[in-house]
């Protein structure tokens, strides 16, 4: 008896995957729930277990192939022994057919008069390669109108610059992973769709750093997790989003959808690319709850164990480029969200405080937002509220 192995459900809005690795080969024995292969989707890696015990008799989808949901991956022969492999019948050579000569190109026609009205329209619209449907390929007025109504194809990507012969051997061409392709597409779509704008501010981190230094040991002892900066920024953003709700909203057609909750996306760099795990209901969580969630999600991201559900439903995102040493950047929106906050490196800088120049640990903040829904006043107000909350963390306790 043969059992089919098919592509499992991949998650909301995910319709296809790439076969990344086969752990078994035809003829290998497999046990129930033993991993057969690994599928790479737009964001996560999905392992496909064996539904039965038996022998892998056939692999249908090879490594590198793109497969849809419920597509056939392999066949398993149930039982202890695999059936003998079927001998492939020799291919019967096909009888060569006399190739049909291609039809002459429209541009080569010199003896066919186009309709005068068609010539006039083509001249007015600078058209020269309209396909004619009239007698003998004659271009009619309707052909020109149809060509004008058909959107022009998107321009092809610019050809790669030529490489010197002595350099070509030292290059390596590697196919982009599905994750990297998705990152590239989503970020470009974000730029093409949203009216994206970035506004900046800076924050004095003195109070947050002092509070963290004072309580980090006690915090770790009680909650079993380190007290980092991300919980302060998450709390500050939640506080600001309550006052400027459009930054926590999204556009759906001609409607604006306001979210009465905060699902905070925390951008994380991994060896395979950028992912954004989501902390649901961050507005209802304590500092310890946020830090534990960030630690858990970060570990899963590094190990490639994030599920699709853990990366969906975000309403706002924080990206911390400061961990890599970034001093200033303009983060790109994570669609369909309308705002993303960029954190940066903490750097000692001379500041004028009460008429005196003092050295303070400063950080630049960047808020990128969709100007279709968020006005400049709302963006600036958001950043000011985040700045105020971080420079005086007591405001978070009193909701000020």
- Between the two ends of the chain, the Cα-to-Cα distance in Å is 69
d(CA 374, CA 250): 10
b/e 201-218 (16+ beta carbons within 10 angstroms → b): bbbbbbebeeebeeeeee
Residues in the chain: 400
How many CA atoms does the CB half-sphere of 116 hold within 13 Å?
Answer: 0
d(CA 17, CA 73): 12
375 assigned to active site: yes
371 assigned to active site: yes
Among residues 257, 249, 261, 186, which one has the least CA distance to residue 375? 249
Q: Which residues contact 103 (CB under 8 A, 6 or more apart)?
A: none
For residue 360, the cross-strand partners are: 349
Cβ atoms of 192 and 154 within 8 Å: the answer is: no
Among residues 121, 130, 120, which one has the least CA distance to residue 152? 130
User: Six-digit token pair at 89?
Assistant: 């019948």
Helix or strand or coil: residue 357?
Answer: strand
Question: Active site residue: 33, 70, 189, 375, which one?
Answer: 375
Cβ atoms of 142 and 117 within 8 Å: the answer is: no
What are the φ and ψ backbone dihedral angles of 184, each rounded to 5 degrees? Answer: -60, -45
Helix or strand or coil: residue 387?
Answer: helix
User: Six-digit token pair at 323?
Assistant: 């961990």
Helix or strand or coil: residue 180?
Answer: helix
Question: Active site residue: 28, 223, 371, 392, which one?
Answer: 371
The set of catalytic residues is 371, 375
């Amino acid at each position: 008896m043969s059992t089919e192995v098919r592509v499992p459900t991949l998650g909301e809005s995910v319709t296809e995957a790439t076969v990344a690795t086969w752990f078994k080969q035809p003829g290998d024995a497999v046990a129930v729930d033993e991993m057969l292969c690994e599928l790479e989707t737009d964001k996560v890696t999905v392992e496909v277990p064996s539904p039965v015990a038996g022998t892998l008799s056939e692999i249908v989808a090879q490594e590198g192939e793109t497969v849809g949901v419920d597509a056939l991956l392999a066949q398993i022969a149930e039982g202890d022994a695999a059936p003998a492999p079927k001998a492939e019948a020799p291919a019967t050579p096909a009888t060569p057919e006399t190739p049909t000569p291609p039809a002459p190109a429209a541009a080569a026609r010199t003896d066919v008069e186009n309709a005068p009205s068609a010539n006039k329209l083509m001249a007015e619209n600078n058209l020269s390669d309209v396909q004619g449907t009239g007698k003998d390929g004659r271009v009619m007025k309707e052909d020109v109108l149809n060509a004008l109504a058909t959107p022009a194809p998107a321009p092809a990507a610019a050809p790669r610059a030529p490489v010197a012969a002595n350099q070509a051997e030292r290059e390596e061409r590697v196919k982009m992973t599905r994750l990297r392709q998705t990152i590239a597409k989503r970020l470009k779509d974000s730029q093409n769709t949203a009216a994206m704008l970035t506004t900046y501010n800076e924050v004095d981190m003195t109070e947050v750093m002092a509070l963290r230094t004072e309580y980090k040991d006690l915090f770790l002892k009680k909650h079993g997790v380190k007290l980092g900066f991300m919980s302060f920024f998450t709390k500050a953003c939640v506080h600001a989003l309550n006052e400027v709700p459009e930054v926590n909203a999204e556009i759906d057609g001609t409607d604006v959808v306001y979210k009465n909750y905060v699902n905070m996306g925390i951008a994380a760099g991994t060896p395979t690319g950028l992912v954004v795990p989501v902390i649901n209901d961050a507005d209802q969580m304590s500092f310890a709850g946020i830090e534990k969630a960030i630690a858990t999600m970060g570990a899963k991201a590094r190990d490639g164990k994030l599920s699709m559900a853990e990366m969906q439903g975000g309403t706002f995102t924080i990206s911390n480029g400061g961990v890599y040493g970034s001093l200033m950047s303009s983060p790109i929106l994570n669609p369909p969200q309308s705002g993303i906050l960029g954190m940066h490196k903490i750097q000692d800088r001379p500041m004028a405080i009460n008429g005196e120049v003092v050295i303070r640990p400063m950080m630049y903040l960047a808020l990128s937002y969709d100007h279709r829904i968020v006005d400049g006043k709302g963006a600036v107000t958001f950043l000011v509220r985040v700045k105020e909350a971080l420079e005086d963390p007591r405001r978070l306790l009193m909701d000020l």
